[in-house]
Amino acid sequence: MAPYLASLLLFGGIYAMLALGLNLQWGHTGLVNLGFVAFFALGAYSAALLTLNGVPLLVAAVIAVVIAGLVAYPLGRLTLRLQDDYLAIVTFGFAEVVRILLLNTRWVGGADGLTGIPQLFGPLAADVRPFIQLGAVLMVVALVLVLARRLTESPYGRVLRAIRDSAEAARSLGKETEGYKVVALVLGSALAGLAGAIYAHYIGYVSPDQFDPSLTFLIFTGIVIGGSSHWGAAVGTLVFIAAMEATRFLGDVGLPISQSDFAQLRLLVIGLLLIVLMQRKREGLWPYRHRERVRVTRDAAA
């Protein structure tokens, strides 16, 4: 039971990291990256290929993060000076290209993917390994959370949110909006790459069907539910994915409907819940909160 729980939590950590990355792009900067899953895949495949070819695991992970970030750069440069929709279209297309390339390229394993990827802390005994892995991953997630907060609570983060609300107004106040958008895109994608590297080195194999486009939309939905505070985005995504997984088993407990009916019913129910949530709490369950500012001056003392 305990290793199973540890594994669940570890996957939770990976999803949380994905949520933090997309939240930086979408929740804070307003960038609609519909190909987010591709950067997750790039991170996973890069780390897998590198370690399978003898590169040390840590070095491979760092390179995987850099690759995911670097690939985002030209996409951003090409599209971010255009209207917002172009980023959405281009990233969506990009993710499909990546998926189909992975599926059809022999040296990355094609549809079978890659197996035998070295485990995180592989040399450790199998009975303690899951817990050490979990501890390490949670520490990385905590570090990412702290760094993301530092960035978004700084004047830099304030510019990102200004751009999200009106890029034109931000430009008219002297902000070089394109540069900020590119940085947000690269950082968020690099985080997806990091999540991918951890994922590959945890489950030990990668294949194209693990990086289905629907994952991108799961995370978007998670952020909508949770709100654009870092906690909100992470927790919202975890709750949503957990709910999707949990309701999968409800079909087994003797409901008088077929498995496939149930799968569709589940989406219907989730859709309804989302509508209710959006009517009650449009900013999500844990929206981003601005620091209350109180004037501290002589007239306050008087």
Partner 1 sequence: MLRLEALAKSFGGFAVVKGCDLEVREGEIVGLIGPNGAGKTTVFNLITSALPLDAGRVWFDDRDITGFPTHRIAQAGLVRTFQVPRLFERLSVIENLMVAGPNQRGERFWSVWLRPGEIAREEKRNEEQAWETLRFLGMERVANDLAATLSGGQKKLLELGRALMARPRMLLLDEPVAGVAPRLIDEIADRIRVLRGRGLTFLVIEHKMDFIMALSDRLYVMADGRVLTEGRPEEVQADQRVLDAYLGVA
Closest separation between CB of residue 134 and partner 1, Å?
28
Closest separation between CB of residue 157 and partner 1, Å?
8
Q: Which residues contact 204 (CB under 8 A, 6 or more apart)?
A: 115, 116, 117, 118, 119
| Using rule CB under 8 A, residue 173 touches partner 1 | yes
Closest separation between CB of residue 159 and partner 1, Å?
5
Nearer to partner 1, 127 or 165 (CB): 165
Nearer to partner 1, 148 or 234 (CB): 148
- Residue 203 Cα distances to 7, 44, 196, 197, 275, angstroms: 10, 11, 11, 10, 35
Nearer to partner 1, 28 or 201 (CB): 28
Binding mask 269-288 for partner 1 (x = CB under 8 A): -------------------x
Classify 206 as helix, strand or coil. Answer: strand
Query: Among 83, 105, 166, 258, which residue interacts with partner 1 (rule: CB under 8 A)?
Result: 166
Among 50-58, 176-184, 257-265, 270-278, the segment contacting partner 1 (CB under 8 A): 176-184
Beta carbons of 27 and 228 less than 8 angstroms apart: yes
| Using rule CB under 8 A, residue 170 touches partner 1 | yes
Structure tokens at 266: 């589940």
Query: Among 176, 209, 245, 261, which residue interacts with partner 1 (rule: CB under 8 A)?
Result: 176
Among 15-23, 85-93, 162-170, 259-267, the segment contacting partner 1 (CB under 8 A): 162-170
Nearer to partner 1, 127 or 292 (CB): 292
Question: What is the torsional sign of CA 70, 75, 78, 84?
Answer: negative
Classify 278 as helix, strand or coil. Answer: helix
Structure tokens at 170: 């931000």
Compute the distance between CA of residue 269 and CA of residue 284 in angstroms, rounded to an integer.
Answer: 18
Residues shown for the chain: 302
Closest separation between CB of residue 182 and partner 1, Å?
11
3-class secondary structure for 196-216? HHHHHHHHCCECHHHHCCHHH
Of 141-160, binders to partner 1 (CB under 8 A) are: 150-151, 154-156, 158-159
Structure tokens at 40: 């997750």
Nearer to partner 1, 106 or 291 (CB): 291
Structure tokens at 24: 């930086």
| H/E segment holding residue 81 | none
Chain residues binding partner 1 by CB under 8 A are 150-151, 154-156, 158-159, 161-162, 164-166, 168-177, 183, 288, 290, 292-293, 295, 297
